[in-house]
Amino acid sequence: MNFMRVSWGMSALVWFGFIVLACVALGWPAVGIAVLFAVLPDVALIGGFAEQGRLKSERVRLYNTLHSMPVPIAMLVLGAAVFFITGGFDGGFWPLALAGAAWFVHIAADRAFGYGFRDADGDIIPVGSVLG
C-alpha cells in the first residue's frame, strides 16, 4: 500500500465533502465554479497527447504547472480569509475559496489514483516513486 496515495485520497474526500456541502448551501453558481475549477488542470491535455498516455513535450510544463499545489492552496487560504473578512456565513465572498478547493481536489484525486507530474518526455511519474 502506498501511504502517499492513501493520504492524498483521504484529503480529496474531505475537501470534496466540503465542496458538496458548499454547493448545496450556495446553489447553482457554486456548482458552476466547482465544476470549472475541477476540470481546469486538465486543459493541458486537450490536443496534447503525442501517443497513448504520453503528453507532447511542449505541454509538459503547462501540465505540471496546473497540477502543482501552490496556486490552489493560496486561492483556498486567501479565499477563506476574504470570506470571513467580507461577512462570513452572513453573505461573505466565497467563490475564490471554492475555486481553490475544487482545484485542490482535482490534484489530490489525481495523486490518489497514482498520477503524478509528467517527465520531460511526457510520461507520468507515479506518485511515491523515487526519482534518481
Tens digits of per-residue pLDDT, 25-80?
999 999 999 999 999 999 988 887 887 878 888 899 999 999 999 999 999 999 99
Q: Give the separation between CA 22 and CA 54, rounded to whole angstroms.
A: 36
pLDDT at 88 over 70: yes
- Going by C-beta distance under 8 Å and a sequence separation of 6 or more, which residues neighbour residue 54? 121, 122, 123
In a domain, 72, yes or no: yes
At 1 the pLDDT is: 61
Grouping H, G, I as helix, E, B as strand and the rest as coil, residue 1 is coil
In a domain, 62, yes or no: yes
* pLDDT grade for 84, boundaries at 50, 70 and 90: very high
Check if the beta carbon of residue 19 is closer than 8 Å to that of residue 34: yes
Instruction: Output DSSP code: residue 4.
Output: H
In a domain, 130, yes or no: no
At 3 the pLDDT is: 86
Check if the beta carbon of residue 38 is closer than 8 Å to that of residue 103: yes
In a domain, 25, yes or no: yes
- Going by C-beta distance under 8 Å and a sequence separation of 6 or more, which residues neighbour residue 24? none
- Evaluate if pTM is beyond 0.85: yes
Retrieve residue 73's grid coordinates.
492552496
Check if the beta carbon of residue 37 is closer than 8 Å to that of residue 99: yes
Give the rounded percent of residues in the chain with a pLDDT score beyond 70.
Answer: 96
- Give the residue, 112 or 1, on which the prediction is more confident: 112
In a domain, 69, yes or no: yes
In a domain, 132, yes or no: no
Q: What is the mean pLDDT of the chain?
A: 91
In a domain, 131, yes or no: no
The HSE-up count of residue 113 (CA atoms within 13 Å, CB side) is: 9
Range of the domain at 69: 3-124
Q: How many domains does the chain have?
A: 1
Retrieve residue 83's grid coordinates.
470570506
In a domain, 112, yes or no: yes
At 128 the pLDDT is: 75
